Amino acid sequence: MYHHIKKLMYTVRVDEPDPRFGNMLLEQFGGANGELAAAMQYSVQGLNCEDAARKDLLMDIGTEELSHLEIVGTLARMHLKPMKFGREHAEADPLIAIAGGGGVNLFNSMGNAWTADYLKITGELDVDLRSNIAAEARAKIVYERLINFCNDVGTKDALQFLMTREITHMKAFTLALESLERPRFSIGRLAPSAKLVDQFFNDSTGTGDHGEADMRGPWNEGNGWEFVEAPAFQTMNGEGDSAVHAESSDTGNPEPIQDLLMQQLRDLLHAEKQLLKALPKMAKAARHETVRRFIESHLEETGAQAERLEGCFKLLGASARAKPCKGMAGLIEEGEEVMMEGKNKDNASADLSLIGAAQRVEHYEIAGYTTAKNLAQQIGKPEIVQLLTKSLGEEENADQLLDQAARSLMSVAKMPGAIK
């Protein structure tokens, strides 16, 4: 919820309007490092953020950036105002004077329109925080340069305020990043290749007439670094790429991994067959039509998933023999207990418990299909990967739909006079 208060965060004063400087100010209004870009970047990151504390940080600073946009826009408008009346001033920027009437618009100082391409949003909190620190640093430098090109005292005061707040935001984002307590170079979930990650390639070489001297520092020596001299030259000289720790995806002997894949497929096949018997009971136990329809729909998907698993065995030249899946047996047993206990609960509570049991099943299957898909990928079985990916996508979608159904039921359960 936003509410506009008719007062600037920092009161601005312009004693001597300068249309050319007003044009420069537009860089911080509609430019790549400007206040609108910052406001949108942090606010959208905040909307995506599942971390309540850091979501609050992002929304606080995103909202403040909107206040900064108002300050910059007011400053720019005051400096551009002479364009409304004087030909000489209008010639400073005909686009602003003629198309915009001497006012501000979402353009940068070169007349290029603002674009969402300016925003850096990945959905990974630590990566986004790093982008925000860099964005604040760039904005600080832009404000510093604007101050250096400004002669109006009131304008310089306002720009000093805005420049200072960029450092404040850098501090907040940096501390938020540090509070995650993640290793400095831990990005995402997949680990980098061992050894290769610590190799520095000296790919810019030559001295004297052939170029500048190679330099060494903490970025390429000490601290576990391995300095690799000109990998390209090694290849040209027939030395090959033995110095580079690049690991091949070739598994050598694929039999052990194929055996593991076979075990996973047999486990999954038995799991799906157990579900084909259990899901009709769950559908019957569901109280709400939406939940019942979903379970019935997933029953059809489960049948197709079992058929895909049988297809995987054919591709491997093996019989579709299931291996008793104790994990799924335990989950189904828990589900039966949930259904029994649900007989004494109100409709919303009974179905919420049922959904919880169903989601445990989905998570178990997601783990199984992910493992099997990765194993098939490792031994170069694209047809099997395709079949497993299809089933994995259905399981992930089922989990999301169950989550949506649960949220809907929770809302109903909270409503006064809700139907029980």
**Residue indicated by tokens 């920027």:** 93
Query: Are 69 and 107 within 8 A, CB to CB?
Result: no
Interacting residues of 190 by C-beta distance below 8 A, sequence separation 6+: none
How far is residue 195's CA from residue 208's CA, in Å, rounded to a whole number?
32
341 an active-site residue? no
In the set 27, 64, 70, 136, the catalytic residue is 136
In the set 27, 65, 70, 272, the catalytic residue is 65
How far is residue 69's CA from residue 323's CA, in Å, rounded to a whole number?
63
How far is residue 94's CA from residue 114's CA, in Å, rounded to a whole number?
18
Side chain identity, residue 28: Q
In the set 27, 68, 89, 394, the catalytic residue is 68
Residue 161 buriedness (CB in 10 A; 0-12 / 13-18 / 19+): middle
How far is residue 157's CA from residue 165's CA, in Å, rounded to a whole number?
13
In the set 64, 166, 394, 395, the catalytic residue is 166
CB neighbours of residue 256 within 10 Å: 11
In the set 79, 89, 169, 298, the catalytic residue is 169
Cα–Cα nearest to 335, from 362, 373, 370? 362
In the set 35, 64, 70, 365, the catalytic residue is 35
Cα–Cα nearest to 157, from 343, 57, 320, 13? 13
CB neighbours of residue 53 within 10 Å: 9
Alpha-carbon distances of 88 from 93, 107, 129, 138, 206, rounded to whole Å: 10, 22, 45, 33, 54
363 an active-site residue? no
68 an active-site residue? yes
169 an active-site residue? yes
Q: What are phi and psi of 32, to 5 degrees?
A: -65, -30
Q: Catalytic positions, please?
A: 35, 65, 68, 136, 166, 169
